């Protein structure tokens, strides 16, 4: 999607959602005061850092408490208002400001922090070839509940197959996620677990055997790859007649 219509859509979405945004802001302020907006440095297109905006749903200074940036369901750092705001994904509304600024897109890989980017393999760094998005292919196929390796792989697949049709499909599926709330929290297997980078710099050395990245099964990959994309992949794999015995 080109930048001009995307910014126009973001401004329209901000206007339409302003009543909900105002209610959320008041709820945060009444329960826990300021700051209302949570700001965090994320890595954007080409590895450029930018300040991503969200509504604060946790107590102030939550990053320095307990598990740090990891957030699970029932986390005591989440405020009462924050739990409702998260369930409805209202905390992501300020991302629309990032879209208007040109730092994010409506659809694309969710932006991650520098520590996570430092552990990317060469293939995983392909997700930095496009602007990060408010929603994306990994978001509509499991969101935070996905194992980290699988989530990044789905983002790379999107980068390789992105199109206006695919973006529209993702936006429609995102509306369904707002109703169900599926995948908001990482659970036992989803999300990123920090660990040192291996000496070769290709695959991150994770902190426990249970954290080893799990590749998606062939069946799950087929479910997440559109039919047209699967047909193109099959054609590439088909051997030429001269290669047959």
CA distance 245 to 241: 9
pLDDT tens per residue across span 203-217: 333 322 233 233 343
Ranges 40-49, 69-78, 188-197, most confident: 40-49
Torsion angle (degrees, nearest 10) of CA 107, 150, 148, 102: -20
Say whether the peptide bond before residue 85 is cis (omega within 30 degrees of 0).
no
Confidence of residue 148 (pLDDT cuts 50, 70, 90): confident
pLDDT of residue 2: 78
pLDDT of residue 52: 97
Q: Do 73 and 87 form a contact (C-beta atoms < 8 A)?
A: no
Nearest to 94 by CA among 42, 158, 162: 42
Sign of the C-alpha dihedral, residues 140, 141, 147, 152?
A: negative
pLDDT of residue 226: 52
CA distance 196 to 56: 29
* End-to-end CA, the chain: 46
Confidence of residue 192 (pLDDT cuts 50, 70, 90): low
Confidence of residue 122 (pLDDT cuts 50, 70, 90): very high
Based on the number of CB atoms within 10 Å of its own CB, is 208 exposed (0-12), middle (13-18) or buried (19 or more)? exposed
pLDDT tens per residue across span 226-238: 544 444 444 444 4
DSSP character at residue 43: E
Nearest to 56 by CA among 75, 71, 34, 72: 34
- Mean pLDDT calculated for residue range 119-140: 95
pLDDT of residue 54: 96
Q: How far is the CA of 1 from the CAs of 43, 58, 124, 133, 198, in angstroms?
A: 21, 33, 23, 12, 37
Sign of the C-alpha dihedral, residues 2, 144, 178, 25?
A: negative
pLDDT tens per residue across span 149-166: 899 999 999 999 999 999
pLDDT of residue 224: 52
- Mean pLDDT calculated for residue range 36-57: 96
């Amino acid at each position: 999607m080109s930048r001009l219509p995307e910014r126009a859509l973001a401004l329209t979405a901000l206007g339409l959602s302003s009543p909900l945004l105002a209610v959320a802001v008041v709820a945060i302020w009444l329960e826990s005061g300021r700051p209302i907006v949570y700001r965090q440095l994320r890595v954007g297109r080409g590895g450029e850092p930018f300040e991503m905006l969200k509504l604060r749903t946790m107590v102030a200074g939550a990053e320095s408490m307990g598990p740090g940036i990891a957030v699970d369901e029932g986390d005591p750092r989440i405020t009462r208002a924050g739990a409702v705001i998260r369930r409805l994904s209202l905390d992501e509304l300020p991302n629309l400001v990032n879209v208007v600024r040109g730092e994010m897109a409506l659809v694309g890989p969710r932006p991650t922090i520098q520590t996570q980017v430092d552990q990317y393999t060469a293939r995983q760094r392909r997700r930095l070839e496009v602007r990060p998005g408010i929603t994306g292919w990994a978001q509509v196929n499991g969101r935070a509940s996905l194992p980290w390796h699988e989530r990044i792989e789905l983002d790379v697949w999107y980068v390789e197959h992105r199109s206006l049709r695919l973006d529209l499909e993702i936006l429609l599926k995102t509306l369904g996620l707002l109703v169900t709330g599926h995948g908001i929290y990482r659970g036992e297997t989803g999300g990123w677990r920090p660990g040192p980078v291996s000496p070769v710099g290709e695959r991150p050395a994770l902190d426990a055997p249970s954290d080893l990245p799990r590749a998606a099964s062939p069946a799950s990959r087929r479910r997440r790859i559109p039919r047209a994309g699967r047909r193109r992949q099959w054609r590439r794999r088909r051997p030429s007649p001269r290669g047959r015995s």
